């Protein structure tokens, strides 16, 4: 059986420098620069590859989830840094005035990076 011990995920961005600035300045993520303009987002022993793609079209789903201890604190801190949270009006499954989904499942709030990729912060259980 093949073991995939070093598996990692990745996604594209339109502007690697804007992404790098947003991920470090607004989100506080540790980043290493890689070959051919790539970035490696560091999360403990896990890495997420970010690569430049000039004709990038963002996905319509969440590409990166960032678990947090307290969703309200995370939303407050990120909002203070200029992160804009998405608001969804889906009837009983809508986000509140701060952009936090509280209608069952994990408490979660979504936002976009400079390339339009959807990220979330979600409260750990």
- Quote the number of domains for the chain: 1
The reported pTM is 0.92
Query: What range does the domain containing 119 cover?
Result: 10-123
In a domain, 43, yes or no: yes
Sheet holding 62-68, edge to edge: 62-68, 118-123, 108-112, 100-101
CATH of the domain at 20: 3.10.180.10
**Measured distance CA(37)–CA(14) in Å, rounded:** 12
pLDDT digits (tens, 9 = 90+) for 55-71: 999 999 999 999 999 99
Residue 7 clears pLDDT 80, i.e. is over it: no
In a domain, 28, yes or no: yes
Kindly state the average pLDDT of the residues 89-98: 89
Contact by Cβ (8 Å): 87, 98: no
Strands 100-101 and 39-43: unpaired
Sorted by sequence, the CB contacts under 8 Å of residue 46 that are 6+ apart come out as 8
Residue 3 clears pLDDT 90, i.e. is over it: no
In terms of Cβ atoms closer than 10 Å to its own Cβ (0-12, 13-18, 19+), residue 40 is middle
């Amino acid at each position: 059986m093949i073991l995939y011990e070093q598996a990692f995920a990745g996604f594209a961005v339109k502007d690697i420098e804007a992404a790098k600035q947003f991920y470090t300045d607004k989100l506080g993520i540790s980043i290493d620069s890689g070959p051919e303009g790539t970035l490696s987002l560091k999360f403990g022993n896990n890495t997420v590859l970010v690569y430049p793609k000039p004709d990038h079209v963002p996905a319509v789903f969440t590409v990166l989830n960032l678990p947090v201890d307290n969703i309200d604190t995370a939303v407050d801190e990120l909002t203070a840094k200029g992160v804009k949270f998405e608001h969804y009006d889906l009837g009983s499954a809508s986000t509140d005035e701060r952009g936090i989904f509280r209608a069952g499942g994990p408490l979660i709030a979504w936002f976009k990076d400079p390339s339009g990729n959807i990220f979330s912060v979600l409260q750990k259980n």
